[in-house]
Structure 1
């Protein structure tokens, strides 16, 4: 009788322990995924800061890639609005106005490319996965190139506008670089059948 009671208590304890472990594991999974994914990003600290605080749990590489692109798109959109606003100022030299005008166009193109990328990630399918990932990688790479070109246009230009634009564009370029890393990581992921529509 005592033996049966001990066996029952042992089984009960093990069942509760497994249940608690599973709950804890699934609860910690999103945070662990963010940390492990950001560890080798081009800008790990920015990656952790932006994705750890991002709304909604990131449970798969696809979730992380989408979140990273959303962060990049949000920041690029804000910078695009800022550039449009300051480019209309009359208190600028000719060279500075030209650099700003080019930058407005380039960042606007980046915003469109990031929008297309996000749309592609939202509609991934197993049979077209490679083609869609190639599109996403191409668009984010183009967005990053546009942001770099914007900065290049300010070479030889001095003043507060240049410093402000450089700071904002550099920030956008870094989160865009991390987004490209997350997309590449998704492309290489072995568990895509679990989160891609058949």
Structure 2
């Protein structure tokens, strides 16, 4: 009985070192933590990218993951907005504009993702980085424009839209930060 207990305790203490998620993923998780610490929204960055810690082994892969998170949030927000039922001409107009803006954000973030996937250290690195930074910045502008349309609208719809779009803007801002880090490490 004591032998089984000792073996069990030994296995409990050694388990993190024996499993792939133990020692091998710790440096990758450190990459997420080190990269997110100075992001615009560090806690959002950590929370949304923590699951990518095992998949991202370098800053380029982490930037790709951040853009994927941003695309997913933008798509989700766009679907949410498309399903909202509201009354009032002003509200419907603001909502229609916001749906369009979020659609544009999804397109721009998807272009960013494509550019980053083909990012290389050759002569066109600057061009690719410039495009990626421009498209993510445009997506942020779209998100701000969407929120501007709801400034003079009150009620629960405004709150719901603001919460969703603010969440998208935060992950998009963090994605831009991580893309800029790629540019800084290159330059």
TM-score for the superposition, normalised by structure 1:
0.79
The answer on whether the counterparts of 2:32 and 2:46 sit within 8 Å (CA) in structure 1 is yes
Q: Which residue of 1 aligns with 2:174?
A: 178
How far apart, CA to CA, are the structure 1 residues paired with 2:167 and 2:25?
Answer: 31
Structure 2 unaligned segments of length 5 or more: list them.
1-16
Q: Secondary structure at the match of 1:125?
A: coil
User: Of the candidates 96, 102, 105, which is equivalent to residue 110 of structure 1?
Assistant: 105
Q: 1:108 & 1:119 partners in 2: Cα distance?
A: 17
Are positions 1:161 and 2:147 aligned together? no
- 1:84 deviates by 1.3
User: Partners of 1:28 and 1:135 in 2: how far apart?
Assistant: 33
**What is the number of residues matched between the two proteins?**
167
Counterpart selection for 2:148 from 149, 152, 164: 152
How far off is 1:72 after superposition? Answer: 0.4
Describe the shift of the 1:133–1:60 C-alpha distance in structure 2 as closer, same or farther (beyond 3 A).
same
Q: Are the aligned partners of 2:29 and 2:54 in contact in 1 as well (CA < 8 Å)?
A: no
Do the aligned residues in 1 keep the contact of 2:28 with 2:53 (CA within 8 Å)? Answer: no
Aligned mates of 2:163, 2:52 — CA distance in 1: 22
Equivalent residues in 2 for 1:53-132, closer than 5 Å? 53-54=51-52, 56-86=54-84, 89=85, 91-127=86-122, 128-132=124-128
Deviation at 1:54, TM superposition (A): 2.8
Pair member with larger Rg: 1
Q: Distance in 1 between matches of 2:184 and 2:152?
A: 41
Of 30, 33, 46, which aligns to 2:31?
A: 33
Shift of the 43–138 alpha-carbon distance from structure 1 to 2, 3 Å rule, reads same
Structural RMSD (CA): 1.9
